[in-house]
Structure 1
Amino acid sequence: MKCRELMGILHTIGYEVSRKKGSHIQLRADGLPPVTVPNHTEIATGTLRKIISQIGMSKEQFVAVYQKCA
């Protein structure tokens, strides 16, 4: 998955960029835990799984939001 796609999904569920530094972007949302996303062209599968886990979504929920955004 591309960083831009992931950022779009996170924005859809309420996350906003709080800080950019180097090759990472920190996001925050009211009532949700903060998350750090690597600002790389492609996000590694393991990193994506960890981000999904950090925001408290299941893979199925994440895929459903992804399909709505696409």
Structure 2
Amino acid sequence: MIWTGTIALLVEHMWHGEIVPWFPFLTAMSDPADTATMLVEMGQIGIPMLLAILAMWGIMVYVENKISYKSAVTNAN
């Protein structure tokens, strides 16, 4: 699931021209003024999105472990 999302995000960024397959890869890096804007956007949008995804993943793992443990205890009796 994470790899599919990663590939989808890569394709979306390429589609909108935000990344390119040649150096410096990020189109905002070609102009120093755009670099500052890019870093602010990554900090304000990208980091919270990453933290939200990691939190949801952690919750899903926790719930799955609880369900598996409860099932194992029930089946053992």
Q: TM-score, normalised by structure 2?
A: 0.28
Give 1 or 2: higher helix fraction: 2
Q: TM-score, normalised by structure 1?
A: 0.30
Larger Rg: 2
Give 1 or 2: higher strand fraction: 1
